Each structure stands twice: as structure tokens, then as C-alpha cells.
Amino acid sequence: MKKSVLLLAAVFITAYVLFNILQDHTTNLSNAGESPNEKALAVIKDNGCMHCHSVSSEKPFYTSFPPVSYDVNNGIKAFNIDPAVEKLERGEPVSEAVLARIEFAVYHHRMPLTQYKAMHWGSAINDQEKTILLDWVKEARANDYGKNLAAESMKNEPVRPISNHFVLDSSIVALGYSLYHDKRLSANNTVSCATCHDLNKGGVDGLVVSKGIHNQDGGINAPTVFNSAFNIAQFWDGRAADLQEQAAGPPLDEKEMGNKNFDEIVNKLMQDDSLKAVFESLYNEGITKQTITHAIAEFEKTLITPNAPFDQYLMGEEQAITDTQKQGYVAFKNAGCASCHVGEAMGGQSFEFVGLNDDYYDDRGTDITPADHGRYKFTKEDHDKFLQKVPTLRNVALTAPYFHDASAETLKDAVVMMNKYQSDSRLSDEEIDLVVDFLSSLTGEYNGKPLNQL
């Protein structure tokens, strides 16, 4: 009986190996169109990326067996490729985070994993496929994110200098500024937007969790409002699609501003004749929820911080940052940090699983909170559990404490923890110090003044 089982296993393994030897792993590429998007999609499909990085695709039967199932689950946590594939299939641009993630994997020979290649002979990305992917990344950056102020030699970097994308009505912006600082938006006139997002403190309040109405503790660390206009969605869990939708949230949160509905706010502001006149001069409908949140959102679009020393470096000013900061940027990229902290804001483009390499929450030693569940709170999709939106690194030296739970008190603490929990390329102590030094070069200007000098 034992010999029969072993014989059947040997036959199965032999048949499987022969199948993989004979199988054409370039089927999709051989039939792909001429566009870079079509070719890149074909390479992704030919090399089994969907087996480990897709929630929806059909997978080989053995992926449900340990230890393969462990790799598949980790693959989905590390990078759910489904949204990118769907966009490529529709011929739409993918995010800069997707471009950086794939570029990093190709450059550093990260994918497919060795154990995958052992079972799928021929699945390793060949030189032609590498060229296809890297050319696609470069062309997509140029075509889809063309407003790039970087010097020619820096245009294919995963990060870009901040530029002003927004055409705004200055009168509405001025109204939004006033409302942003107006405590009447809270039920007892004690809390404004600026209470938790102080423009003189890097757009945060420096607290573990913010203090709302009646001095109540909020449930999560307040992210900076600066450069939030570049985010793909708002809040750590991304539940608000844009700045206007986000502006409608805190006024009705019982722990933040404590209003029961927006009618309470509207009725209060309507008592201010001068403010009412301003609204009526700018909006036909006068003071409403929509006009209040629109004005605040338009003001927040002005909260961008260009011209950081690192921006100047990207634009060709070699002496704008120090040699150690340049080395820190190289270490930052080699560790994979620039796979998530991309684009103008250096973040805000994707949602990532917290604790890829070690159990972050077990090590933290405190109970899991609703805030820890991240995007899952909004989507209720199991694969979104513990995903948080990647924060911007712009002005990061000014925005301690760090992470959604404020568990990192200092910038170095944050880098050490990211090195442990998120990066496969572990940095040395010296490299960690270099990265921290590099991050200090990301402090930009607001209204023509360095943000740390307001």
C-alpha cells in the first residue's frame, strides 16, 4: 500500500513537472497587442503574478494547501494586483504606486518567488519581459504623470517634485480658510478643523489622538492636512472619496465636533449676516452642507508644500541636499520604501497591510481597536483587514507621533519599525540614520515660507 502511494505520488510529480516544462509561459505575450499596457499586462499574466497577488483570479488547486497557501495569503497582503490588472484591461492608467511596486520587483529580482519557480519551470521573468515592464513603467510615468518638474535625469524617479495642479477661486478659498478656523462648526463652539490640523504644527496636533468636543479622545492619530489633496482617498481607511466628502465627516462625529446634523451648523452660521452675505455672493444656494464643505475643500487644495530641499535636488540643484541625504535616498529606495511612498506627496496612493514581516499588533501588546482594522471598516472585505492608507512623507519631520496608532514617538522610531515590519531589505543601523537624515529634507514651503518657520 505504501509503495503504491509513493508510486502514485511520483507519477503525479513527474506529470506535473513535465507539464510545466512543456507549457508555454509566454502565451499572453505572444498574442498581445502592440501597446505598452497590453504587453505589460501579458507579462504579468504569463508569469503567475495572479496566482499569489489576486483575490479574484482562478488559482491552481494546490494553493489551498500549506505551505503554499501561506505564500499566497502573504502575496495578497503585500500587493493585491487586481485593481491594476482591471485598469490595464480597460486601457486606463495605473497608479504611481503600482508602477513603483512592479519596477522594484523587476530591478531587485523579487518575483516570482523561488518556491514558485521551482513548481512552475520557465516562469522566471526573462530579459525581454523585464525590458517590457521597465519600458512600460517609464512611459507610463511620462504619459500619465507628465506634469513633472524634475530635471531630465530625474524624471523616471518614483517620487516627483510638488507642483500646483489646482485652479481655484480665491474668494472661495478665503471663505474656506475662515470656515477651517471657525469653531462654530462644532456643537459647543470649541473645536475647529484647525484644532486637530494646526497649520503651524505641520498640519497635525502632535497628540496620540486628537481632543474633540468636551475634551473627548478620538480613535486615531490625526494625519496631516498638508498635501492631502494628492491622496487617492481621505482618512486612514479611505472612506471619503475626496476632500469635500472628508470635510463633512468630523462635524457629525460625536467625539470630534458633536453635531447631530448639518442643519444645526447651517442654522448657526445663518445668524451671521456678514458670513451669510459672503456665501450668497459665491453660491446661489447660500449656506448649505454642500457649500460649507466645498469651500473648506477648496481651501485645503491650497495646502501644498512645494520647494523642499529634496524637490530642489530633483529639479537639478545638486547642492540642495547633503551627501548623506543623497545616500539616505538611495537606501530609502533600496529598502523598497519608494514602492509605497511615491509621487508628489510620497504617499497617499495605496492601502498597505501593517505587519508584512512580523506581527505588528502582537508586538504592540495592546488590544486590536476598530481603527486598527483600517480599510476593512469601510469595505467589509476580509482582504482589506489591517490595511491603512500610506501616509505622505512630506514634512514628516514635523508630524510626530507616527502611524495610525501613534506608536512611533520619533522619526527614527518610525523608520526602525518600518524596517522591521514592512521592508524585506533590512537596513543597517547606519542606513537607518541615513534615511532619517534624508526624510528631514522633505520639509517644504507654505505661502513661500519653510513650514518649520511658520
Across 281-305, average pLDDT: 98
What band does 407 get if pLDDT is binned at 50, 70 and 90? very high
Residue 71 has what pLDDT?
A: 62
Confidence bin at 46 (pLDDT 50/70/90): confident
Q: What is the pTM of this model?
A: 0.90
Task: Give ∠ CA 193-221-333 in degrees, rounded to 5.
Answer: 115
Neighbour count for residue 181 (Cβ, 10 Å) = 14
Percent of the chain predicted with pLDDT > 70: 87
pLDDT surpassing 80 at residue 146: no
Q: State the chain's mean pLDDT as an integer.
A: 90
pLDDT for the residue numbered 367 = 95
The pLDDT confidence band at residue 454, using thresholds 50, 70 and 90, is confident
CATH for 309-453? Answer: 1.10.760.10
Return the minimum-mean-pLDDT range out of 67-76, 172-181, 234-243.
67-76
Specify the range with the lowest mean pLDDT, choosing from 118-132, 245-259, 352-366.
Answer: 118-132
Instruction: Say what the pLDDT of residue 68 is.
Output: 52
Q: Is the pLDDT of residue 40 over 70?
A: yes
- CATH topology agreement for domains 170-300 and 309-453: yes
Has residue 23 got a pLDDT over 50? Answer: no
Query: How confident is the model over 344-395, as pLDDT tens digits?
Result: 999 999 999 999 999 999 999 999 999 999 999 999 999 999 999 999 999 9
Write down the domain spans for the chain. 2-146, 170-300, 309-453
Please, are residues 86 and 78 in contact by the beta-carbon 8 Å criterion? no
Confidence band for 442, pLDDT divided at 50, 70 and 90 = very high
Q: Which residues contact 367 (CB under 8 A, 6 or more apart)?
A: none
Q: At what angle do helices 429-439 and 411-421 cross, to 10 degrees?
A: 130
What is the pLDDT, as a whole number, of residue 6? Answer: 55
**384: which 3 cell numbers?**
482589506
Higher pLDDT among residues 146 and 390, named by residue = 390
pLDDT of residue 109: 75
Catalytically active residues, by annotation? 256
Is residue 15 scored above 60 in pLDDT?
Answer: no
User: pLDDT tier at 405 (50, 70, 90 boundaries)?
Assistant: very high
Pairwise pLDDT comparison (373 vs 426), residue with the higher score: 373
Q: Say if residue 16's pLDDT is above 60.
A: no
Q: What is the pLDDT of residue 362?
A: 95
pLDDT of 69 over the 80 cut: no
pLDDT of the residue at 256: 97
The CATH code for residues 170-300 is: 1.10.760.10
pLDDT at 22 over 60: no
- Confidence tier at 330 by pLDDT (50, 70, 90): very high
- Cα angle 406, 407, 412; round to 5: 100
